[in-house]
Amino acid sequence: MVIGLTGSFASGKDLVAHRLIEKGFAYVSLSDLIRDDLRAENLPITRENLINKANEVRKTRGASEWAKRAIEKAKRMGAQHTALVSIRNPAEVEELRKLPEFELWFIDSPQRIRYGRAKKRGRTDDFPSFEDFQAKEARENSADPAEQQLGKVFALADRTIENDSDIASLQLKIDNILYELGIG
């Protein structure tokens, strides 16, 4: 089974992914694939550069390109179950739905909580204030089909997982879903 994880910045996607890894899932991050491209071009890895590179590749190679690369990487890993993290465009979801067993999870958390998490992790260089955070986040909902369209991806999700409490509560939610799916 392939579980795709999406959600806004600092919503808890990586926490969910780590729980899936603990349950035997392989891990592939679309953001890591974008980081690899930035490193190959000797560009600094910033949130702005990640978004720009992702959008550039979607425009030149097709909106599903990152999903195709992630699928190839997952196949090379040969795992029975894989978590694909950071899905940001409906064409990526469409590509992933071609897989025999795919489910998309949207990890959600209130904006103020996410901003607090980002500050705590020291990841606020791109948005020193809450207003900057809100403005940057608005960019994730472009009308351009070759850019990030997180709102449209949310509408395609099979499940929405609220991450508005502590880590143990989130892990329990994941464990219950995996049990329901017959995994873990």
Q: What is the CATH number of the domain that holds 89?
A: 3.40.50.300
Confidence tier at 104 by pLDDT (50, 70, 90)? very high
How many alpha carbons lie under 13 Å from residue 158 in its C-beta half-sphere? 15
Tallying the residues shown for the chain, one arrives at 184
Residue 108 in 3-state DSSP? Answer: strand
| Mean pLDDT on 37-44 | 97
- Contact (Cβ atoms closer than 8 angstroms) between residue 24 and residue 80: yes
pLDDT at 68 over 70: yes
pLDDT at 7 over 90: yes
User: In this predicted model, what pLDDT tens digit does every residue of 124-154 receive, in sequence order?
Assistant: 666 788 988 888 888 778 788 888 899 999 9
Q: What is the pLDDT of residue 29?
A: 96
Confidence tier at 37 by pLDDT (50, 70, 90)? very high
User: What CA–CA distance (Å, rounded) separates 23 from 181?
Assistant: 13
Q: What is the pLDDT of residue 143?
A: 81
Tokens representing 89?
Answer: 């465009």
| Mean pLDDT on 166-172 | 96
| Mean pLDDT on 96-100 | 96
Q: What is the pLDDT of residue 142?
A: 79
pLDDT at 97 over 70: yes
Q: What is the pLDDT of residue 125?
A: 67
The pTM (predicted TM-score) of the whole model is 0.91
**Owning domain of residue 40:** 2-181
Tokens representing 180?
Answer: 């329901």
Q: What is the pLDDT of residue 92?
A: 96
| Mean pLDDT on 31-50 | 95
User: What CA–CA distance (Å, rounded) separates 14 from 50?
Assistant: 17
Q: What is the pLDDT of residue 103?
A: 98
Q: What is the pLDDT of residue 81?
A: 97
Number of domains in the chain: 1
